[in-house]
Structure formats: structure tokens, C-alpha cells
């Protein structure tokens, strides 16, 4: 089986990756990264190198997948269904009182429409 990490080059994306690595080890599963950041179809060379180093250190292979879909939330959901993913790991960021009423559209879409469990982690732990 596979653990999918919805990754963005931001603190919440890095926290999702860290928890995704832990979850893959716990489940003895493969890890799949789907980039949901701006320009979500490609990561730059430096970011790829950093990801590969972190995963190599964790004993996992770097596997990145993208989708032709324009919406990153739709891409995560589609890839999760196509690959029969066990769990999706996404990162959340701190929001103001008003911001708490409205989650980010990508996170909200994944939480509401995913057909597998979703593990949401906070980058700014209390």
C-alpha cells in the first residue's frame, strides 16, 4: 500500500512530509509525494534534491506524481484513487479566528472528497 503526502514548499508541507515518512514506516508502506504548491506540476531542482536527501535518510525512495488537473486538491484526490492510497497526509497552518471559518480550498477539498482516511497535521505545534 501507499501513503500519499500532499506536499508544498512551506512549513505545513514539510510537516506533512515528516509525518508522512513516519506513517509510511508505521504502515510499512511506500511513500508518494504529490506537489500541491504553486506551480504544482514541477518542483525546482534544489527542492527535489532536498526531498531526495530526506527520503534517502529515512530509507525511502523518492516518488513524485503529478496530474494534468489544474486544481491541486482534485489532483491529490484523483491520484489517491488511481493508486489505491491507504492514507493522505496534509499539512495545516495556523489561521486567525475568521480564517478558521474557512479552511484553505485545497485542504477543504481533500478533507471532504477523499475516499480514504486523511491525516491532517499542524506545522505550528502548540
For residue range 42-75, list pLDDT tens digits in order: 678 888 888 899 999 999 988 888 777 778 899 9
User: Residue 90 and residue 20: Cα distance in Å, rounded?
Assistant: 9
The answer to pTM > 0.75 is yes
User: Residue 81 and residue 121: Cα distance in Å, rounded?
Assistant: 21
What's the mean pLDDT in 91-96? 74
Residue that wins the pLDDT comparison between 104 and 11: 11
Are 9 and 121 spatial neighbours (Cβ–Cβ below 8 Å)? no
pLDDT bin (cut points 50, 70, 90) of residue 95 is low
Q: What is the pLDDT of residues 5-40, one digit of tens each?
A: 999 888 888 999 999 999 999 999 999 999 887 665
DSSP state letter for 102: S
pLDDT reading at 114 higher than 90 = yes
DSSP code per residue over 53-73: HHHHHTT----EE--S-SSHH
User: Residue 89 and residue 119: Cα distance in Å, rounded?
Assistant: 5
User: Residue 65 and residue 78: Cα distance in Å, rounded?
Assistant: 11
User: Residue 101 and residue 25: Cα distance in Å, rounded?
Assistant: 34
Are 36 and 107 spatial neighbours (Cβ–Cβ below 8 Å)? no
- Hunting for cell 526531498 — which residue is that? 51
Amino acid at each position: 500500500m501507499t501513503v500519499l503526502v500532499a506536499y508544498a514548499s512551506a512549513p505545513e508541507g514539510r510537516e506533512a512530509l515528516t509525518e508522512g515518512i513516519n506513517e509510511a514506516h508505521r504502515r510499512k508502506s511506500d511513500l508518494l509525494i504529490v506537489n500541491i504548491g504553486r506551480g504544482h506540476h514541477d518542483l525546482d531542482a534544489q527542492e527535489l534534491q532536498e526531498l531526495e536527501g530526506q527520503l534517502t535518510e529515512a530509507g525511502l525512495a523518492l516518488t513524485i506524481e503529478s496530474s494534468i488537473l489544474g486544481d491541486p486538491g482534485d489532483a491529490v484526490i484523483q491520484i489517491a484513487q488511481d493508486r489505491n492510497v491507504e492514507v493522505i497526509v496534509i499539512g495545516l497552518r495556523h489561521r486567525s479566528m475568521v480564517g478558521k471559518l474557512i479552511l484553505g480550498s485545497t485542504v477543504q477539498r481533500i478533507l471532504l472528497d477523499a475516499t480514504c482516511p486523511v491525516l491532517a497535521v499542524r506545522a505550528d505545534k502548540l
